[in-house]
Chain A
Amino acid sequence: MNPSEQNPGFGAGLWRDNPALVQLLGLSPLLAMSRSVATALGLGLATLAVLVSSSIAVALLRKRTPDAVRIPVFLLLIATFTGCIELLLQAYRYPLYQALGIFVPLIAANGALLATAAASRRHSLASAARGGLLAGLGFAWVLLLLGALRELLGQGTLCRQMDLLFGPGAAAWQLQVLPDDYEFPLWVLPPGAFLLTGFLLALKNAIDLRRGTSAPPASVPTPGAKRVRVTGVPPPDSRS
């Protein structure tokens, strides 16, 4: 289950319990919609809005939600807010809605939302709102960073097509960071999303290790465990 459920220090969504980098929830929108800064920011904001509003709703209804049906209730609430966001996007940012495609309705199926809703249930309105905000920001910054990296490495630009989000005036925001003729489409293609997500995970773990905030799980065998084969023995250093 989601770590913040047992953990009273709920609200560490930005870093310690980051939905994308630690809980590894919502990976499919993360991988699919991080092609560019514009799509990443769009989906990040939409997810953030649904997260905050559904957290608040769950906390408001927490006394009236029977345990047995809590998950259907969470899902209904999340789906309702997702529907609202979808309609808003259709009304005001139709090109962005088209660019995000199926991933707007799929916000409702994002595991990060269900996990946050489950956690919000134990909290007061203010702390649930804060938790939802932090989890949403945590998801959004990873999405945005991944989008920036993929756009930069893949196309050499940043912030292309920002008019999807901010209207026609924003079309000029595109920054050509690398030379004009630079492109390396691998990073925009799906394998690039997986590779860079892996590197971000590694980077986060490296930073945590360096700060000493999280020790890696010790790989000591359980006492009494029988070892028959030699697999699992740390390889001798000479092999590297």
Chain B
Amino acid sequence: MITSAPHAHSGLTTGTVMQRVLVAALPGIAAMVWYFGPGTLIQIALAGSAAFAAEAMVLRLRGRPPGPTLADGSALVTGVLIGIALPPLAPWWLAIAGSAFAILVAKHPYGGLGYNLFNPAMAAYAALLVSFPDAMSQWPGPRPLLSDGTLPGLVDSLQRIFTGQHAAPDGFTMATPLDLFRHNSGLMVQQFQTAHPLFARGDLAGVGWETVNLGFLAGGVYLLARRVITWHAPVAMLAALVLMALLCNDGGSSASRGPPSLHLFSGATMLGAFFIVTDPVTTAASNRGRLLCGLLTGVLVFAIRAWGGYSDGVAFAVLLMNLAAPLIDRITVPRAYGHGRARQHHGAPPE
């Protein structure tokens, strides 16, 4: 949506915003590397460079000057987000295919940065997930739970990612906390949490996963402090997620969909809340609209995790809300100063 004047310039350029987003992602990435091995760094490098190359290619095709658009780093951020979202030891072509899809299908056919309907990184993630559900769910277990030396190091990771060959057998893949909860049958939540090593040490949302989410939360707080994002969408999304988890929590029976702590600090929750839902292009324009968008995203994330076909639902929830954002903009038109309540525009849509 194009909002009406007057606009105040915040002094931020796209380039600065993207730099800060990259800085903010560092704590989460560091936690991922510590718990799940250096594969994440390789995925980020692969996806980032593929996104950059695809962007350069499309700009050339479209006859646009590539310099300024490449320098603003938006393609790089898309690539980095894809790299973070991929399982660390996924084969190399997943990252390349995902980045190419993000730039060539989700971003530029709509007009490029600022015009895309869907968040490119999430569109790519969803495309990969529906196409390659097996490769996309092979997450290694967190380092503390694996015996020494099972988690692939840098050289081993490179070998696995690029050739698919590996010296040792797969002794390290492990279901994620959300996967486990999804396939829980017959264990009360408390029994469940003592039965699985991921939760056994009193961890709220699974060893490793909670630290990674705390890392992205820290990055989100930094983005808030630097005024890159506003609090509305992330807070609304997290609040809706907690609320839904509380509503559907029946005191810990085996049919329970997991306590709020699990939903807050597992899966892609914090990454989604602070790095994806806050994407200024694909979310609603006004603060009220962003509140509503975030709220509904949180509800959808919970609904997909609890009753959907996939163990995490951030990508699908975000894409659905991207579609709804223009409608949300229509019902949350900000009141013009000096006027009464903004009236809804009742023009019939063109046939």
Contacts and interface: CB of A to CB of B under 8 A. Distances in A.
B106 to A, nearest CB: 10
Interface string B255-271: 00000000000000000
Contacts of B69: 240
Contacts of A202: 109
B97 A184 contact: yes
Contacts of B114: 239-240
Given A185-B132, A240-B111, 18 more contacts: A183-B131, A184-B131, A185-B130, A185-B131, A186-B130, A186-B131, A189-B131, A195-B105, A198-B109, A199-B109, A229-B4, A230-B5, A231-B2, A239-B114, A240-B64, A240-B69, A240-B112, A240-B114
Give the interface size class of chain A.
Answer: 10 to 19
Interface in A183-203: 183-186, 189, 191, 195, 198-199, 202
A240 B131 contact: no
Interface string A228-240: 0111000100011
Interface in B111-136: 111-114, 127, 130-132
| Size bracket of the B interface | 10 to 19
Contacts of A235: 2
A184 B91 CA distance: 14
Interface of A: 183-186, 189, 191, 195, 198-199, 202, 229-231, 235, 239-240
26 contacts: A183-B131, A184-B97, A184-B131, A185-B130, A185-B131, A185-B132, A186-B127, A186-B130, A186-B131, A189-B131, A191-B127, A191-B130, A199-B109, A202-B109, A229-B4, A230-B2, A230-B4, A230-B5, A231-B1, A231-B2, A235-B2, A239-B114, A240-B64, A240-B111, A240-B112, A240-B113
Interface of B: 1-2, 4-5, 64, 69, 97, 105, 109, 111-114, 127, 130-132
Contacts of A185: 130-132
Contacts of B112: 240
A230 B2 CA distance: 8
A189 B113 CA distance: 27
A92 to B, nearest CB: 36
A107 to B, nearest CB: 26
A202 B130 CA distance: 25
A220 B64 CA distance: 24
Contacts of B2: 230-231, 235
A199 B114 CA distance: 20
A231 B2 CA distance: 6
A184 B136 CA distance: 13
Most buried by A among B5, B105, B112, B127: B127
A216 to B, nearest CB: 15
A198 B114 CA distance: 20
Nearest to A238: B68
A183 B130 CA distance: 12
Nearest to B345: A229
Contacts of B131: 183-186, 189
Contacts of A240: 64, 69, 111-114
